Amino acid sequence: MYGTRLFDQPEHAAVRERLGAFLARPGPLAVEIGFDHGMCILDRARRFPETRQLGVELREQRVIAAAENAPDNCLLLRMDARTLFTVLLPAASVQWLYLLFPTPPSSPKRVLLSAGFAAAVERALVPGGVLWFATDVPELDAAARTLFPWPEAPPPPLGVELSRRERVCRRDGLPVYRLCVARP
C-alpha cells in the first residue's frame, strides 16, 4: 500500500487501470484524502455532478461501505495518498484538494505532512488549484501552514455534510483550524 511500485504489480494493476480511466474523463478533478465514512465526498459528488471526485482512504472497510453509495462521478480507492500524489496523478491534474482532519502520525512512517508530500501536491495541483485543509490539532495546522505558504484562496466547492470529526469538534466545542490556499 505504501510502496511506489505497488501498482506495477499484476494484482494491483486493475486499480491503476480504474484510476487511469477515471482521470481520463472530462471535467475538473477534486481529491479528498482520508474520506473516512465518505459523507463529505459523497455529498459533493451528488451536488456537483460535473466534477470528478476522487477519494483515497487507508481503511478497506470504509472504502467498501462508501463505494456502495458513490455516484458515477466519484471513485473511492484504498490507497495511500503519498503514493497517489507522487506516482499516480499526472502533473497539473487536480483542481481542488480536500485534506480534512488528517490523523496525527503515530510513527515517522505515517507522517503525511512532509516536504516531499508538499512538493508532490504542488506538482499535482493546477496553477491556482486550491488546497482546503482542516484540523483540530494545532501542530498539524502549523505544519500545513509551513509546508503550503501559498496565497489565501476562497473555499472550493463544499457540500453541506460535515465530516465525522468536524461534528465531534462542534459537539465538544473544540477549535477547528482551517487553511485555504491556492497554488501559485
Q: Is residue 88 part of a domain?
A: yes
Q: What is the pLDDT of residue 33?
A: 97
Are 177 and 136 in contact by the 8 Å Cβ rule? The answer is: yes
**Whole-angstrom distance between the N-terminal and C-terminal Cα of the chain?**
31
Q: What is the pLDDT of residue 39?
A: 94
pLDDT in tens, the chain (184 residues): 445 566 666 767 888 899 999 999 999 999 999 999 999 999 999 999 999 999 999 999 999 999 999 999 999 999 999 999 998 999 999 999 999 999 888 777 778 999 999 999 999 999 999 999 999 999 999 999 999 999 999 999 998 899 999 999 999 999 999 999 999 9
Q: What is the pLDDT of residue 7?
A: 63
- How many structural domains is the chain composed of? 1
Q: What is the pLDDT of residue 106?
A: 77
Are 73 and 52 in contact by the 8 Å Cβ rule? The answer is: yes
What is the residue range of 88's domain? 6-182
DSSP bridge pairs for 161: none
Mapping DSSP to helix (H, G, I), strand (E, B) and coil, where does residue 57 land?
Answer: strand
Q: What is the pLDDT of residue 1?
A: 42
Q: What is the 3-state secondary structure (H, E, C) of 35-50?
A: CCCCHHHHHHHHHCCC
Q: Is residue 99 part of a domain?
A: yes
Q: The cell 476562497 sits on which residue?
A: 154
Return the CATH number at 135. Answer: 3.40.50.150
Q: Is residue 178 part of a domain?
A: yes
Entry pTM: 0.93
Q: Is residue 1 part of a domain?
A: no
Q: Return the closest-CA partner of residue 54 out of 39, 68, 73, 27.
A: 73
Q: Give the helix/strand (H/E) hosting 66.
A: helix 60-67
Q: What is the pLDDT of residue 132?
A: 98
